Amino acid sequence: MDKIAVVGAGMVGRAWAIVFARAGLDVGLYDPDGRAVQDALFKIALAVQDLATEQLIDEEPTAVLARITAGTSLPAALQGAIHVQENGPEDLEVKKRIYAELDALTAPGVPIASSTSGIKASAFSEGLPGRARCLVAHPVNPPSVVPLVELAPAPWTDPDVVTRTRALMERVGQQPITVKKEIDGFILNRLQGALLNEALKLIADGYVSTEDLDKTVKHGLGLRWSFMGPMETIDLNAPGGLPDYAKRYGPIYHQVNKESVPRDWDERLFGQAARDRRATLPMEQHAERQAWRDRRLMALARQKKQAAKEIGD
């Protein structure tokens, strides 16, 4: 049975361990902090139970958990691994140290992928003897429920490493995309940033309430986005397809884009939205609402799986 090394057992490392184990692979889960290891085993067991309740795993939770071996020895976690998924702290200096250690200890040719949300692969792999096997594989949290993973190689990453990582992600049920050239924010956060920058301005400048802004996405744009992307959306939204859409509506978008001036993310920009959110959801109810979000997300994932079987994807 193939084995994956999951390095760093925080929020994201724990979810990756579940992704690989539920796909039938062995997992060596490592964290230098013994308490983090214990905490991870406890939280992984709870999360796997939740996935079973939502019918997002096809076997007994104990069978999934039995494939995960966790500990504080890095060589033990790396032993025999065909892929390394790094999930250490989001700090460039720490990533550089972890990568130097991983490159020295991991068998030659084995891809070493980082879950980093925003550090380019070139920033932590330059100068390493094995830099050609290093890349970013950025998940959306938690990858055990949200399947997208952005593969972002450095200019010197071996294309075969990207191909093999893409194949592995597909094998374990994730949905990989490839970022063809290094860019800040990769793809997902650039798209999310474009929407957030505009949304915060519209609220701060008094055009819409925070509640109505959220309604616009959850009852409007977001409905389609949960099963098709914006390119397919605009292609289907004009009788003559995408060029027709561009001709009809392009001038509006161009005007909006011309008016757009970058703003700092300070209190003047996000203050109104932050106050409105606290009035709607007091901090004491924050954790409870997060649990509600996770349940909704799992229910949606189950529906999408079912709809893909019935209608096609």
Ligand X SMILES: NC(=O)c1ccc[n+]([C@@H]2O[C@H](COP(=O)([O-])OP(=O)(O)OC[C@H]3O[C@@H](n4cnc5c(N)ncnc54)[C@H](O)[C@@H]3O)[C@@H](O)[C@H]2O)c1
Return residues touching ligand X (CB under 6 A): 7-13, 31-33, 36, 87-90, 98, 115-117, 138-139, 141
Of the pair 98, 132, the CB lying nearest ligand X is at 98
Closest distance of CB 134 from ligand X, Å: 14
DSSP structure class, residue 221 = I
Of the pair 125, 203, the CB lying nearest ligand X is at 125
State how far the alpha carbon of 141 is from the alpha carbons of 14, 15, 73, in Å.
Answer: 10, 8, 25
Closest distance of CB 195 from ligand X, Å: 17
CB 30 within 8 A of CB 9: yes
Report the distance separating Cα 270 and Cα 297, nearest Å: 26
Of the pair 91, 160, the CB lying nearest ligand X is at 91
Of the pair 7, 298, the CB lying nearest ligand X is at 7
Closest distance of CB 176 from ligand X, Å: 14
Of the pair 11, 279, the CB lying nearest ligand X is at 11
* Those residues with Cβ within 8 angstroms of residue 43's Cβ, 6 or more apart along the chain or in another chain: 14
Closest distance of CB 255 from ligand X, Å: 35
Report the distance separating Cα 163 and Cα 161, nearest Å: 5
Closest distance of CB 232 from ligand X, Å: 25
* Those residues with Cβ within 8 angstroms of residue 224's Cβ, 6 or more apart along the chain or in another chain: 233
CB 131 within 8 A of CB 99: no
